Amino acid sequence: MKQPQREALFDLLSLSIYADAHISLTEERLLESAFIAEGWDSEYPKSLFIDESMARAREMSENADDMFDYINEKAQLFTTKATQKEVLGVVKNILKSDGETHEENEFYNLLVQALPKVGK
């Protein structure tokens, strides 16, 4: 995965944990693990990016239209079936970690729609 795709994935992961307005410790740990697993290849400090990503996620989660647009904007960076499947897998893993809610399922379905090469 290239750096812009990593950043988009991290933004989607940050947003995913706000989907049900409840951030569990398990979700936080898995999010941190995903950040470590995907790596970081930028001079921009990772910790600063994460803080900013969480702030963007909080802001986007407050309005359904903004969230929808944000998901679609980030999803455009994943142009292959392989990267789209990876994104869905990582996001699904975090969402199911504390039990999936209706809101989390809605978020996931929006993400699936934004990644057309994978389908449902």
Over residues 39-96, the pLDDT tens digits come to 788 888 888 998 999 899 999 988 989 999 999 999 999 999 999 999 999 999 888 8
The pTM (predicted TM-score) of the whole model is 0.85
Please report, rounded to a whole number, the percentage of residues in the chain having pLDDT higher than 90: 46
Specify the range with the lowest mean pLDDT, choosing from 20-24, 77-81, 105-109: 20-24
**CA 45, chain centre distance (Å):** 19
Q: How far is residue 33's CA from residue 92's CA, in Å, rounded to a whole number?
A: 14
* 8 vs 1: which has the higher pLDDT: 8
- Indicate left, alpha or beta for 39 from its phi (over 0: left) and psi (-120 to 50: alpha): left
CB 42 within 8 Å of CB 32:
no
Q: Which of 31-35, 83-87, 104-108 has the weakest average pLDDT?
A: 31-35
Cα–Cα distance measured from residue 45 to residue 79, given in angstroms and rounded to the nearest whole number: 26
